[in-house]
Structure 1
Amino acid sequence: MEVVESAVNAEHKSVQLPDMRAEVISAVRALSDREYQQRVWIDRQYPSPGYYDDFTLNVNVLDDAAVLDDPNSAVGFTLASDEEARAMADLAVSINEVLAAVGSESPDSAFLGSPLWGDVLDAAKNALRVLTA
């Protein structure tokens, strides 16, 4: 029985940092939702007192979780599979392109107004789909 359980556990890659994974998923969700971004990041209509969110905060969450610079190294920690790592790598490319084009110190409205923002939304939607499958 023990051998069978070990084989099953080896096949299913679990994550060692489930709380950090939840933060990653939350950040990716925010990056995938254009209506949320307009409402919260631009119009500052927060869902509750003391709440804050913006583009920089979400990128910082992903940076802190090390899923942008080297997503493959996050597999087993905050990411559960190579497919998730590929999806995060694609998101990282899109984020880096918009940061380079717009400038990292720009307001959120500049990012959302960039012609490259659609690529961020698409990559984030795909990453969210993969992370929550």
Structure 2
Amino acid sequence: MISIQFPDMRNEIVRAVKALAEPEYQWSAWVRRELPPGHYDEFTHRIHVLYDDTQVLEDPERAVGVYLRSVEEANAMRKLASAIDALFEDMGTELSDEDYLRAPGWASVVHAAREALGVLERPREGDEP
């Protein structure tokens, strides 16, 4: 079993992927700003966690053992990176969150995020229940 060097950052990655996988949350938090007082979230923040802070989407294989538990997780994150990269290639990187949510490529991002989340949250042998 591969141990993770930075479990707290892994939790941030999982939260970011979960946000990308839940359209209802995206509209509520990112567009309507329906968050508890003192809380903040937006698409850009999630992208920074996945690309800039951890670079998990830039090089998922290198993240195995650091933030990711397996090559399977790395493969799922690579698919998510492809969907996000395609969205940015088509739409640029300066749109509002609402414009991204309305973009034709957004459904691919949500789909890839849901698949990645399923892999990231899958219990492994030896994990606590």
- Scaled by the length of structure 2, the TM-score of the pair is 0.92
Residue 105 (structure 1) aligned with residue 94 (structure 2): yes
User: Which ranges of structure 1 fall in alignment gaps of 5 or more residues?
Assistant: 1-11
Which residue is equivalent to 2:34? 45
Q: Tell me how large the CA RMSD over aligned residues is.
A: 0.6
User: Which ranges of structure 2 fall in alignment gaps of 5 or more residues?
Assistant: 123-129
Which residue is equivalent to 2:111? 122
Percent identical among aligned pairs is 45
Which residue is equivalent to 1:55? 43
Which residue is equivalent to 1:36? 25
Aligned mate of 1:82, from 59, 65, 71: 71
The alpha-carbon deviation at position 14 of structure 1 amounts to 1.4
The alpha-carbon deviation at position 34 of structure 1 amounts to 0.2
User: How many pairs align?
Assistant: 121
Residue 71 (structure 1) aligned with residue 64 (structure 2): no
Q: Is the helix fraction higher in 1 or 2?
A: 1
Q: Is the 8 A contact 1:33 1:121 kept in 2?
A: yes
Mapped to 1, the partners of 2:121 and 2:66 lie a distance apart of: 16
Mapped to 2, the partners of 1:109 and 1:131 lie a distance apart of: 27
The amino acid of 1:51's aligned partner reads: H
- Scaled by the length of structure 1, the TM-score of the pair is 0.89
The amino acid of 1:49's aligned partner reads: P
Structural mapping, 1:18-29, within 5 Å: 18-29=7-18
Runs of 4+ more than 3 Å apart: none
